[in-house]
Amino acid sequence: MRVLSGIQPTGNLHLGNYLGAIRNWVRMQDEMDADSQCFFFLADMHSITVHEGREQRIRNVRDMAAALVAAGIDPDRSVLFNQARVPAHAELCWLLNGTARIGWLNRMTQFKDKVGKDREGASIGLFVYPVLQAADILVYNATHVPVGEDQKQHLELARDIATKFNTDFGVELFTLPDPIIPRESARIMSFRDGTAKMSKSDPSDMSRINLTDDDDAIMQKVKKAKTDPEPLPETAEGLAGRPEANNLVGIYATLAGRTADAVCAEFAGKGFGAFKPALGELLVETLRPIRSRFMELRTDDAALDAILEKGAARASAAAEPTLRAAYDAMGLMR
């Protein structure tokens, strides 16, 4: 089993990242047996699709590394690194650009969502972004990729690229990766709009819970979260057509390790005035220890750089055989 996943180091780690992906990373790392390996990385090469100044980008990478370690990624057991330190990702991306089709990329919903009406003004990087993501995965022959629901289409593309490359060059080089998507928290929604996903790029900070938010900020954001005037239903079925209520109950259930039905049963007939403080407490208790470890870790840049350098050396060694085989399959002498 080879587990791999990545996160863009833009802005803070938020509750959507944590519940949709990072918690699963930690669980898979902790349950790993001796024959398995976990690779987790900061997708800084992907982050060039968002304009950022030099100093801020450097800070973002170190902060996201600190956040992952604070959330439970152990750099001794997992290979933790930033993509820019491992050129194999960019090299394989270029090779796969010969395999990926424009028609496939045209169908990517994230690209369409991000560019909106200004397709002509979007960067090429944003368009080929999923090819780099495919390279990230295929260069390690990853078997399991823990991600939130929004990455499912990119994973399907990685499988299509792998299949076409193997067929075109008559090799069995790339392994087809399986997405690992959590059942309950695959799509955490915005606190301002239950139909939009919680995201770092939402201009309203009230829409998301950040790892850096203190206890008061968390309680405030929960209190102000958009809801409807109805009381909580007796079963989760009654949440249909109530996206905000469904989101908050889902978050509560995930954090408490219970089903949405059990949460509804407990709060049935009560309004959000009763539910929100309980949810706020649960969030505060979950995030407080992570935040305090994060605040401590982010003060030691040298230690964070050392972790990423060591991880990059291990990652480069793991990527090399597949990269070499890909050049060779294409008849490119290296």
Distance (Å, rounded) from C-alpha 43 to C-alpha 84? 8
Distance (Å, rounded) from C-alpha 218 to C-alpha 224? 10
Judged by beta carbon, residue 177 or residue 280, the one nearer ligand TYM is 177
Judge whether 276 counts as a catalytic residue.
Answer: no
- Closest separation between CB of residue 22 and ligand TYM, Å? 7
Judge whether 114 counts as a catalytic residue.
Answer: yes
Say whether residue 192 binds ligand TYM (CB under 6 A). no
Say whether residue 198 binds ligand TYM (CB under 6 A). yes
Q: Which helix (H) or strand (E) holds 245?
A: helix 243-256
Residue nearest to ligand TYM (CB): 20
Give the 3-state secondary structure of residue 143: coil
- For 242, which DSSP code? -
Other beta carbons within 10 angstroms of residue 228's beta carbon come to: 12
**How many residues are listed for the chain in this entry?**
334
- Closest separation between CB of residue 15 and ligand TYM, Å? 8
Question: Of 2, 3, 11, 17, which lies in the binding site for ligand TYM, with binding defined by CB under 6 A?
Answer: 17
Say whether residue 136 binds ligand TYM (CB under 6 A). yes
- Closest separation between CB of residue 170 and ligand TYM, Å? 26
Question: Of 28, 38, 42, 43, which lies in the binding site for ligand TYM, with binding defined by CB under 6 A?
Answer: 43
- One of 114, 152, 164, 310 is an active-site residue; which one? 114
Say whether residue 148 binds ligand TYM (CB under 6 A). yes
The contacts found for 95-100 with CB under 8 angstroms, 24 or more apart, are 95/135, 95/326, 95/327, 95/330, 95/332, 96/131, 96/134, 96/135, 96/138, 96/161, 96/165, 97/128, 97/131, 98/330, 99/161, 99/164, 99/165, 99/168, 100/128, 100/130, 100/131, 100/134, 100/157, 100/161
Judged by beta carbon, residue 322 or residue 333, the one nearer ligand TYM is 322
Residue 117 annotated as binding site: no
Query: Which residues have CB under 8 Å from 214's CB, separation 6+?
Result: 291
Judged by beta carbon, residue 186 or residue 318, the one nearer ligand TYM is 186
| Nearest-10 crossing angle of helices 260-267, 272-297 | 130
Judge whether 164 counts as a catalytic residue.
Answer: no
Q: Are 44 and 83 in contact (CB under 8 A)?
A: yes
Q: Are 50 and 60 in contact (CB under 8 A)?
A: no
- One of 152, 164, 200, 310 is an active-site residue; which one? 200
Residue 148 annotated as binding site: yes
Say whether residue 187 binds ligand TYM (CB under 6 A). yes
Which residue ranges make up the site for ligand TYM (CB under 6 A)? 5-8, 16-17, 20-21, 43, 46, 133, 136-137, 145, 147-148, 150-151, 186-188, 197-199
Residues carrying an active site annotation: 114, 197, 200
Per the annotation, where are the binding residues for L-tryptophan? 136
> Residues within the annotated binding site?
8-10, 16-17, 136, 148-150, 188, 197-201
